[in-house]
Amino acid sequence: MKLPIYQIDAFADEVFKGNYAAVVPLERWLPDYLMQAIAAENNLSETAFFIRNANGAFEIRWFSPLTEIAFCGHATLASAYAIFKRNPDLEVIEFVAAAVGRLTVCRTKDGLIEMSFPQRRPERLTEIPANLLQGLSIKPLEVLINQQAYVAVYGSEQEVRSVVPALDRLKTLGPLDVVVTAPGDAHDFVSRYFWPANGGDEDPVTGSIHAALAPLWSQRLGKADLVAMQASHRGGVLYCRVEADRVHISGHAVQYLEGTIEVPDA
């Protein structure tokens, strides 16, 4: 069985930056084991699979090399880029995902792809797991939590960039991941994202966690529109707009690869 595949660098305006995702459009769902095997073979942060349903919406699922992921922002951006490229007259894409419901994606006048996510504001954590504190080389000022990750807050961008994770400690915190964040020097805020239990060591750019980080920093900085930098080795810029119950996250994307994969019939 032959399937189309695209590899897109999301939250980047040139290749080799941002976060890489594979996108595999399907006519029908494959068995879970086969989608997981394809994602492991791709060995990228995520592989997104989608089908178009009878209502015209795109049902989407995301797999890391290790497991299915409930919510992935950069692979949604990559999927939207691939769909817009194949359908140049399409103005708005509606994705449907089990864990987060409906996600609307559109193209902006300045060439960005904008995604509308449900707000996932973190709450302050009073009892901090020992393995979280032992898993970060610099002690955070405070720790918050949402349904996706522990949010460790620091006082400066330099501290975020300097954190060395003890991945064996952080892995024990699964299924939750760990994001470290602080006010930025040239951007409103910065972050890094560690997910050894679910995908890898450090994620290059994590769109989904900005549904938590953008509301957090919007409240603290007193502004609804923010520019964020994920300070990984590849780096990525995210444009965030916070509303009452939604977070709009925009970014650029660029295609690196278009091809065909051949897998066993299912």
218: tokens are: 């919007």
User: 108 and 138: one domain?
Assistant: no
> What is the count of structural domains for the chain?
2
User: 17 and 102: one domain?
Assistant: yes
User: 44 and 104: one domain?
Assistant: yes
User: 13 and 83: one domain?
Assistant: yes
240: tokens are: 């965030």
* Percentage with pLDDT > 90 across the chain: 93
User: 133 and 99: one domain?
Assistant: no
User: 111 and 150: one domain?
Assistant: no
Domain with 158, as residue range(s), is 123-242
CATH number for the domain including 12? 3.10.310.10
Q: Which of 59, 66, 29 is nearest to 45 (CA)?
A: 66
pLDDT at 114: 97
User: 87 and 156: one domain?
Assistant: no
| Pairing verdict, β 58-63 and 92-97 | parallel
User: 105 and 21: one domain?
Assistant: yes
pLDDT at 266: 78
Say how far apart CA 214 and CA 225 lie, in whole Å. Answer: 9
List the beta bridge partners of residue 160. Answer: none
User: 216 and 132: one domain?
Assistant: yes
pLDDT at 203: 93
Residues recognised as catalytic = 46
Say how far apart CA 236 and CA 10 lie, in whole Å. Answer: 8
256 CB contacts (<8 Å, ≥6 apart)?
7, 8, 9, 15, 16, 20
Say how far apart CA 251 and CA 214 lie, in whole Å. Answer: 14
pTM over 0.85: yes
pLDDT at 131: 97
User: 83 and 101: one domain?
Assistant: yes
Stretches in the chain below the pLDDT threshold 50 = none
- 12 burial (CB, 10 Å; 0-12 / 13-18 / 19+) is buried
Say how far apart CA 250 and CA 155 lie, in whole Å. Answer: 26
User: 16 and 92: one domain?
Assistant: yes
Please, what sign has the CA dihedral across residues 113, 118, 119, 124?
Answer: negative
User: 29 and 74: one domain?
Assistant: yes
Ramachandran bin of 16, using left for φ above 0, alpha for ψ from -120 to 50, beta for the remaining angles:
left
